[in-house]
Amino acid sequence: MEFVWQVENESVKLKTFLKGKGVSKKLLAKIKFHGGTMLVNDSVQNALHVVTPGDIVKIIIPDEGEHETLIPYDAPLEIVFEDEHLLVVNKPKDVASIPAQYHPVGTMAHRVKHYYNEQKYVNRVVHVVTRLDRDTTGLMLFAKHGFAHAMLDKQLQNKTLNKYYTALVSGKIDDLSEEGQIDLKIGRDMTSLIKRQVTEDGQEALTNYWLEKKTAEVAQVKIQLKTGRTHQIRVHFSGVGCPLLGDNLYGGNMDLGIDRQALHCTRLEFIHPFTHEPMILTLEIPEDMKQVMNQ
């Protein structure tokens, strides 16, 4: 895969210029030792070469091949957006994002691997950028090569890649403001291997929300996480007396027609790492959540 830039400002070493474009030391080493090339004005150069304004810099990154241990899994894949760098899909319920002890096959990673194989892509390593819990549905972002993954990880760290969710909650819904923030620390529940809880000695956790709709029993809320704690949305709304519908782990109502946590990633906002265009991808809530609100 090739990437090309023109030097615009001061004269600097090639490695310094590439660092400014997001090329890490690890990627430089891959280019150097695994079949890649760095060129300046079509001449091969090393990282210490000094580039000057007007120079054309090209890097050729070697193909990644594939994860040989990740077994392809043939299952439907609903693609929301795709280009040569990114893939965004709609994750269904009851599917884990990545392989784990209790979900060794059939995950979204396995499904994407099958899709890459079917398309005969040269890069078949599956790079998961944004994960979702097994029963959470909605937008899930993959990078199609390691350079894109690194660039998007930087946006996650800098909080310029934002995810928005829609949840259905019940309980003390009359206590919810039109717009609010839940500021409750989250830590492990020592009685469970997976459960978390609100606790004074936990990690800082902030959740912003906006009330979108409300019936006599259910509120539909838009949510943005300001921190990324495990089960944060589920723990926070349970902590304020409004657990997610279908979330039996955190006390959610199981009698309103939905049997999984009513949580859906509805919106992704980020800057495309190579075109630099603002990316805004949206997705409606799924049918099981719609039916609850329409009852």
Active site residues: 133
Alpha carbon 28 to its chain's center: 25
Asked if 205 and 227 touch (Cβ cutoff 8 Å), the reply is: yes
Asked if 91 and 142 touch (Cβ cutoff 8 Å), the reply is: no
Q: Is 175 helix (H, G, I), strand (E, B) or coil?
A: helix
Buried b (16+ CB within 10 A) or exposed e, 180-217: eebebebbebeeeeeebbbbeebeebebebbbeeeeee
Which residue do the tokens 């994750």 mark?
91
* Encoded tokens for 89: 């899909």
Query: Is residue 150 left, alpha or beta, with left meaning phi > 0 and alpha meaning psi from -120 to 50?
Result: alpha
Strands 137-143 and 127-128: antiparallel
Residues 6+ apart with CB under 8 A from 290: 284
For 12, other C-beta atoms within 10 Å of its C-beta total 15
Q: Is 98 helix (H, G, I), strand (E, B) or coil?
A: coil
